[in-house]
Structure 1
């Protein structure tokens, strides 16, 4: 019966070792999906080596053979505490210090394998028969005590880190956090039971508890959290859309992102998962503002080498398809709409620009004129209006052709632009007629500017279609000042009447009305 118990114990430990090795392989293959997967894989592999070595130790009845398997165990055991803390830190988005964590394990590792020369780790070993097992017993030296203390402290720190993560966990990852907390206490209990001499036959039950722990942790890491909450987001949005996608919990902590988001924000990486998203968006304050406001259809600009325009859509993530279910987080989708914005601006520009001369058209002029009238009503800011007509322009078309006439119109428009201030607006009002809006200008100043325009055109010889053409302008001037409050139609009528009088007076002159 005793032999069967020993065989069963060895079989159990070997099975634990194989299971841990399998978990290590699977976890390593998924290291790109989860930040702590790689560390967990190394931890599971080290525990597999430890369990396998202890299974071999239990089969021995002599010290030399038991010491051989103990050496195999200690290839892995000293690193368990440091790996445990690193995995907990990565899971909770805490930056760890590997050099500091592995300092004591290195010392105890070297101490164990040089123990034969100095006995700093253990005193001479003996085999004690505790039927049905032969148990290797040692008198612990200072380095062995340091090793044991470090493992206990590391297990406690890991449990505390997982417990603190549960305290601050959002509803999206609460189940995952509960599982991790439960698993984190198992190795502490197992190791404490062994060191306290409370385990059956004085056997080290730590490999078994660590095996169970790794199973629980594997379930918590890979089968809880966001992988159950938003499979649609990962399978469809992440893999099919070119738009950038950011997945957050209800505390605005980053849970996932796709390649398009990484291209937009290189600061993102797997180590950021579980940490607040907004501080990572320093390069895109408009996006951060839209997320804070929960603006579902914000249109923002993000400046890289050029200014890009994005439509921000914020989608709530619920625990189920039921609209009354609990919200678990949000998905932020950024669609690049630069081409659409440019097309929209181009269409707007075409709608407000004269195709021949490139200056404002009549529609745009009337819009600005209405705005100026409103400003006058509110603040009595004076402005003036010029109506300009090319004298005898029909003769230019008849004599030189319409192509030459079009060139004359284009060059006259450029003369007007060169003569006026940047705050003034010049427009082609129709045919050979132009209109000018002079902001912050009273009638006296408007007359001076009108005369300047008239003289500039008169002095200019225009080259058009191989011809040298000279022409003149007639200009009607009116103003909107504090003494009157005419509507837009009244102002245009007064300017037209002044223009008519200028033409009646012989053309090539300025008249005010």
Structure 2
């Protein structure tokens, strides 16, 4: 019996040494090992447990045994929680701070119970030395909290084991040796502890510390052979769920197979009951129409506008095929990327480049660009084009009398009135200051004069209201027409400008068309 105990102590001490080695190895390589802090604490807890148990077995008196039992419980109850955290981290998942703290409540109470057992006997009802043993061995009668502690420890080992088993089908073959090592490291102590609680172990000895020698050796083997800890596989599910882009997975019949967390945030109306339905049917439910993107094409990129929380957002849609091992198409992926901010900035730049910031109509640069296009088309397909230049009469007087804010309101008011009479094909722009220009495709000089007169009368009869005070606005108009030849846009605008100043010389609030006699 004594030789068996010595062998047992040797094996337990070996377990302790191996755990210390793992702890130190991880500490010195912590910068290269994911979750190194948890593994350091885990192996440190196991080291304390196994060393304490080895010294307990080598003790001669009951007092010494109880002391080293307390030392064991500094590590043993916490190792179960740390082991569960390590396995959860290995699978790519995380725990909240509250859940993490909750995992250490029972181990902390257990340590307190063991250290103060003489006062309440809730952990051990009774402890004594075995009378039939040739060497000193402690025997116990378990208390209520011992059962709680045992159930918690077993639950942690079982949960860790189930989590790892659940990752098996998501893990590539090259990483399954790592995973098998971790699963075995949970199963061995779980089964051993169960047998010990049933009283089925030889001599009633706790086999867990001895078997730690095997699990620690497996860890070391896995570290050296498959770079366990240094290279940790990332589960496909974790990647899929952590992607910032929303992803829709369709089968070969364009039915919804899966979608990730980001897509749920982008399309909150989507739910799991829609899995298995054709995407077009789902979109009819969500938006009242079929999916607006041709998702059966490889590499398609387009924009999709959507209402999210009362605001319009823009998603860039990208499509690709899903292939099996035989390079056959088995489905497709639709990826939604939120580009709302990018599109917003592009629209802002477009507004700055193309439109006048105050009146929101085209600016001078954009008018010249588009005006040349209109003139070029008229030259290719002989047709008249007319141009109207007009400005607000006595605009400086408005600024000096009422202030520049009212002057800005006057410009906006003029644009608002004119837009009531202008058709979509007419090009309307702010030419500079209080001056405006209109290009009229396929419009004769007489038709342009008629329109200009409408605008003049409308502005005269619709004064600007400033805090209940009406301010009458009048404008002077000049018109020029392209009738063929090689006239440039600039020359036609100069002709219109000449006619405009003729209107001003004749008392303002008038319309004049450019003729050779004007000069």
TM-score tier, shorter chain, comes to 0.5 to 0.7
Q: Tell me what 1:125 maps to.
A: 128
**Structure 1 residue 293 displacement after superposition:** 9.6
Given the superposition, is the C-alpha separation of residues 144 and 297 from structure 1 closer, same or farther in structure 2, using an over 3 Å criterion? same
Q: Tell me what 1:508 maps to.
A: 512
Q: Does 1:360 align with 2:367?
A: yes
Q: Tell me what 1:379 maps to.
A: none
Q: Does 1:249 align with 2:236?
A: yes
Q: Does 1:80 align with 2:112?
A: no
**Structure 1 residue 249 displacement after superposition:** 2.4
The secondary structure found in structure 1 opposite 2:440 is strand
Q: Tell me what 1:165 maps to.
A: 167
- Correspondent of 2:439 among 435, 443, 466: 435
The secondary structure found in structure 2 opposite 1:435 is strand
Q: Does 1:474 align with 2:479?
A: yes
Given the superposition, is the C-alpha separation of residues 211 and 199 from structure 1 closer, same or farther in structure 2, using an over 3 Å criterion? same
Alignment of 1:45-444 (within 5 A): 45-92=44-91, 93=93, 95=95, 97-98=99-100, 100-122=102-124, 123-127=126-130, 134-166=136-168, 176-213=178-215, 216=218, 219=222, 223=227, 227=231, 249=236, 252-254=239-241, 278-280=260-262, 357-362=364-369, 366=373, 386-388=385-387, 420-421=418-419, 424=424, 425-426=426-427, 435-437=439-441
Q: Tell me what 1:490 maps to.
A: none
Is the CA contact 1:128–1:136 (under 8 Å) kept in the aligned structure 2? no
Q: Tell me what 2:14 maps to.
A: 15
Is the CA contact 1:21–1:48 (under 8 Å) kept in the aligned structure 2? yes
Given the superposition, is the C-alpha separation of residues 445 and 472 from structure 1 closer, same or farther in structure 2, using an over 3 Å criterion? closer
Is the CA contact 1:454–1:474 (under 8 Å) kept in the aligned structure 2? no
Is the CA contact 1:298–1:311 (under 8 Å) kept in the aligned structure 2? yes
The secondary structure found in structure 2 opposite 1:227 is coil
Superposed CA deviations along residues 275-323 of structure 1, whole A, max 9, x for unmatched, are x9942477777xx999x999868588999xxxx999999999x9xxx99
Q: Does 1:451 align with 2:453?
A: yes
Q: Tell me what 1:235 maps to.
A: none
Cα distance between partner residues in 2 of 1:250 and 1:338: 29
Given the superposition, is the C-alpha separation of residues 436 and 170 from structure 1 closer, same or farther in structure 2, using an over 3 Å criterion? farther
Cα distance between partner residues in 2 of 1:443 and 1:33: 80
The secondary structure found in structure 1 opposite 2:137 is strand
Given the superposition, is the C-alpha separation of residues 207 and 296 from structure 1 closer, same or farther in structure 2, using an over 3 Å criterion? farther
The secondary structure found in structure 1 opposite 2:365 is coil
Superposed CA deviations along residues 359-412 of structure 1, whole A, max 9, x for unmatched, are 333557648998xxxxxxxxxxxxx9852288xxxxxxxxxxxxxxxxxxxxxx
Cα distance between partner residues in 2 of 1:166 and 1:15: 31
Superposed CA deviations along residues 167-196 of structure 1, whole A, max 9, x for unmatched, are 565779655544432332111122233334
**Structure 1 residue 73 displacement after superposition:** 1.0
Is the CA contact 2:445–2:481 (under 8 Å) kept in the aligned structure 1? no
**Structure 1 residue 53 displacement after superposition:** 0.6
Is the CA contact 1:416–1:426 (under 8 Å) kept in the aligned structure 2? no
Cα distance between partner residues in 2 of 1:170 and 1:205: 34
Q: TM-score, normalised by structure 1?
A: 0.52
Given the superposition, is the C-alpha separation of residues 420 and 426 from structure 1 closer, same or farther in structure 2, using an over 3 Å criterion? farther
Cα distance between partner residues in 2 of 1:25 and 1:158: 24
Cα distance between partner residues in 2 of 1:29 and 1:314: 46
Cα distance between partner residues in 1 of 2:105 and 2:363: 79
In the alignment, structure 1 segments of 5+ residues that lack a partner are 230-246, 265-275, 325-329, 371-383, 391-413, 457-469, 479-495
Cα distance between partner residues in 2 of 1:119 and 1:80: 24
Cα distance between partner residues in 1 of 2:418 and 2:375: 16
Two-structure CA RMSD over aligned residues (Å)? 6.5
Cα distance between partner residues in 2 of 1:293 and 1:130: 78
The secondary structure found in structure 1 opposite 2:167 is helix
Cα distance between partner residues in 2 of 1:301 and 1:220: 48
Cα distance between partner residues in 1 of 2:187 and 2:11: 21
Is the CA contact 2:170–2:236 (under 8 Å) kept in the aligned structure 1? no
Cα distance between partner residues in 1 of 2:298 and 2:210: 52
Given the superposition, is the C-alpha separation of residues 177 and 434 from structure 1 closer, same or farther in structure 2, using an over 3 Å criterion? same
Cα distance between partner residues in 2 of 1:415 and 1:99: 65
Given the superposition, is the C-alpha separation of residues 153 and 426 from structure 1 closer, same or farther in structure 2, using an over 3 Å criterion? closer
Superposed CA deviations along residues 75-101 of structure 1, whole A, max 9, x for unmatched, are 222323333333344444264734544
Given the superposition, is the C-alpha separation of residues 323 and 19 from structure 1 closer, same or farther in structure 2, using an over 3 Å criterion? farther
**Structure 1 residue 114 displacement after superposition:** 1.8
Is the CA contact 1:447–1:477 (under 8 Å) kept in the aligned structure 2? no
Q: How many residues align?
A: 385
Q: Tell me what 2:402 maps to.
A: none
Given the superposition, is the C-alpha separation of residues 17 and 311 from structure 1 closer, same or farther in structure 2, using an over 3 Å criterion? farther
Given the superposition, is the C-alpha separation of residues 471 and 197 from structure 1 closer, same or farther in structure 2, using an over 3 Å criterion? closer
The secondary structure found in structure 2 opposite 1:253 is helix
